[in-house]
Every structure is written in C-alpha cells, then in structure tokens.
Amino acid sequence: MTRIRFDGSEEKPLSQPLDCDPPENSIRVTPCRACVKRRSPGLAAREAGGLVRGVTVQSLIIDCDPGVDDAVALFLAFAAPELELLAVTTVGGNVPAHLTQRNARIIRQIAGREDVPVHRGAERPLKRPPAGAGAFHGAEGLGDLEPFEPAGIIGDGPSANAIVDLVMSRPQGSVAVAVIGPMTNLALAMRRERRLAEWLGPVVVMGGARAEGGNITASAEFNIWADPEAAAVVFGSGCQVIVLGLDATHQVRADEDRIAAIEAVDSEAARTAAALLRFSQRVEREVVGGEASPLHDPCTIAWLMRPDLFQTRPCRIEVETNSDLTRGHTAVEFRVDPATARHHWAVAADGQGVFDLIVETLRNAA
C-alpha cells in the first residue's frame, strides 16, 4: 500500500523485522517493529493509515544540542503522533558534545522512547572554536535537572553519518530534519554525500536574526553565530529551508500561566518540561531583564505539526562568514521569485497556539 506525503508524492511503507520479544527493561540496539510500534505514536499512526488529525505522518530527524529548549522540543516530538522520529542526532553547542548526547538520552529515557536512536555528533564547528551557552542552559545543559547517566545506549556512528544513511535510504523528499543547534552535523553530512541536499525533505531550522536583532551579538543569533560556515553550506545547498529565527521565536514566550498549564499534565515528561521552562524564565529575569523567556527550539517541531501557527515569507538567506563584527548574521532577501525560492523566513508566530499544541500533545501522550 502507498501513502501520500506532505508534498503530495507517494511513499512506500517501511520494512523492519517482526522478530523480537525482549525481556522487561532490556534496551535493544535495533528494536523490533512490534516494540517500536508500542512506543512510537508516529509509527503506529502511520501504519494505521498514515493520517493523524488530517495530516500525513512526517518522518523526522532532530539535530540538537540540549539545552533546555532543545529538551522541550524533544518532549514535544517524542509525544507527537504526527511525527515518526527516526533519530536524534546531537552536536556540541549549548554545552560540549559529550553532554548534549547524554542530555538527549536523559530526555529520551524520561519520555520512555528508547526506540529512537540518539547519536553523538561534531565536537566543534567547521572552522571556529567551540561555543557555549551555559549561562542560559545551566553548566550541564539541563537547567536545574540533576544529571544522571541514562540507561539507553548511544547510536552507532556519528550524527552526520546517521543523517546521510537515514535520509538516503528513504524515498526522496520524505525525511524532514529539524536543526535546533549549530548546523555542523548537517553541513558535514552534505559534504559526505553530495546528493543529500536534493534528497532531503524540508529542513526546519531554529536560527537567525533579522528584525529582532541578535541574541549573542547585536546582529547574530547563537546557533548561526556558533558555526556560520556550516550554516552557509546548508543555506547554499539548494535544499528547502524553513527558518524560525528570533523574529518568530520571540513571539512565543513561556509565561507563568503557560508553564503552569504544561505542569498540570500528569506525566514525568510534562513536569520535567515545565521545570526546564521555569529555569529559563528565571534566567530571563536575572540575565536578560525580561519576564517570560522565548521558546525557541520547539517552534520547529510545532511548525512541522501545525504550520498554520506561523506566517512565513519566501526569501533567499545568506550568512555572514567574513566580518568579525557581524559574524553569523542572516541576510534575508525577500525580493525573490516565490515560485523558485528555497528559503522561507518566519515573520510571525501564534505564541498561545504553540503552547496549546504542546499541552494537548503531552496530555494525549500521558
């Protein structure tokens, strides 16, 4: 049986073995299809006909650097039946790579989604020294959460290889990638496999600054600033990129009422997400001087689930790599032919709608 993807093209079903009945608490490297289906709302929905709330299930890789807002994005994606999460690939960014992969495995364990592989990725940007944003995420990246060594193992091979293998083994255009950290892994993957850009589905990026100005410098946003050369590779590759930059994510703010609504959902995932958001809110008050912290990374997942919550404009985006002063600035040119534009810049977001989506998705998974 064939199914119809977002872009209207046909897609063949997955083929995986049906052969395992693991003992309680065991974690297999490659879980069997029955185990995966039990834990994966996306795959179960996909096999039930591929339609959830009227949209086709989207296969997805999340490339991240957890980070408190990355963690909330992971909780949302782990709980979403609209998404078939193929892998989480990690990269050094907010904290070093050995911590981002551990943090992703911690979040996976809390969400009960050990069926999703987590890969370790690039330790440093293509040409720059590693950055860090511990002031916004806590020294180990997960705010106040007491770190622990998670039970689930690290996936085979580095993040860049996992991206290439997963995308190239699936039908063209069928796998989306949400990039919510520095874009090093995807740039490395594109260097490794020249056909990757044309094989990818939508690349949904949290990054970039235009009307709002920057958050790490006057003109740059952290993820793009951290590895501008990697961002330039991705934006110049010809793949379709949807960008949720600060112009949009600053419209999605975690105030007390919104955090409390998440906290009221009866699951460990929701309570942990709320605690992470409270940490961010405190940082916002103490470091930035604002009241409600922007919810950056979950906007990419929300866009995949509910693009109607965002207003985007076709454009061409180029990244500043030469100037020290404006390193990582995203130059967004709207004077393009909409029919051929490969980049889309989010200019507005429905903040309450994004939080309602998070609450509803976590509640349905609880």
Active-site residue list: 296
Binding string, residues 146-185; x marks residues near ligand BDR by CB under 6 A = ----------------------------------xx----
Our finding on whether 100 is near ligand BDR (CB under 6 A) is no
By the rule CB under 6 A, 247 interacts with ligand BDR:
no
Q: Which residues in 109-138 contact Ca ion (CB under 5 A)?
A: none
| From candidates 125, 181, 208, 245, binder to Ca ion by CB under 5 A | 181
Q: How many CB atoms lie within 10 A of CB 90?
A: 32
Site residue total, Ca ion (CB under 5 A): 6
Residues 278-307 that bind Ca ion (CB under 5 A): 297
Any contact of residue 215 with ligand BDR (CB under 6 A)?
A: yes
Cα–Cα distance for residue pair 23/251, rounded to 1 Å: 46
Cβ neighbours for 34, distance < 8 A, ≥ 6 positions apart: 18, 20, 21
74 binds, among Ca ion, ligand BDR, none (CB under 5 to 8 A by kind): none
- Rg of the chain, C-alpha, whole Å: 19
DSSP, residue by residue, 267-308 = SHHHHHHHHHHHHHHHHIIIII--SSEE--THHHHHHHH-GG
Q: What DSSP string runs through 140-187?
A: TSSTTS-----SSPPPSS-HHHHHHHHHHTS-TT-EEEEE-S-THHHH
Tell me how far, at minimum, the Cβ of 284 lies from Ca ion, in Å.
16
Q: Is 221 left (phi over 0), alpha (psi -120 to 50) or beta?
A: beta
Candidates 129-137, 180-188, 264-272, 320-328: pick the segment binding Ca ion (CB under 5 A).
Answer: 180-188
**Looking only at residues 50 through 69 of this chain, which bind ligand BDR when binding is defined by CB under 6 A?**
67, 69
Tell me the C-alpha to C-alpha distance, in Å, between residue 342 and each of 139, 174, 203, 242.
Answer: 37, 17, 10, 8
Out of 67, 138, 207, 214, the residue judged to bind Ca ion by CB under 5 A? 67
Residue 180 as a binder of Ca ion (CB under 5 A): the answer is yes
Cβ atoms 315, 341 nearer than 8 A:
yes
The minimum distance between CB 214 and ligand BDR, in angstroms, equals 9
List 63, 70, 227, 320, residue binding Ca ion (CB under 5 A): 70
Each residue 250-289 as x (binds ligand BDR by CB under 6 A) or -, in order, gives: ----------------------------------------
Give me the least distance between CB of 65 and Ca ion, in Å please: 5
Residues forming a β-bridge with 62 = 88, 178
Q: Is 89:62 a contact under the CB 8 Å cutoff?
A: yes
Taking CB under 6 A as the criterion, the residue among 278, 296, 343, 344 binding ligand BDR is 296
**Count of CB atoms situated within 10 Å of the CB of 289:** 7
H/E run at residue 262: helix 256-263
If you search the block for the tokens 């049906």, which residue do you land on?
18
- Tell which positions 201-230 bind Ca ion, by CB under 5 A: none
Cα(142)–Cα(140) distance, integer angstroms: 6
The reply to whether 357 sits near ligand BDR by the rule CB under 6 A is no
The binding site for Ca ion (CB under 5 A) comprises 65, 67, 70, 180-181, 297
The binding site for ligand BDR (CB under 6 A) comprises 67, 69-70, 94, 133, 136, 180-181, 206, 215, 221-223, 296-297
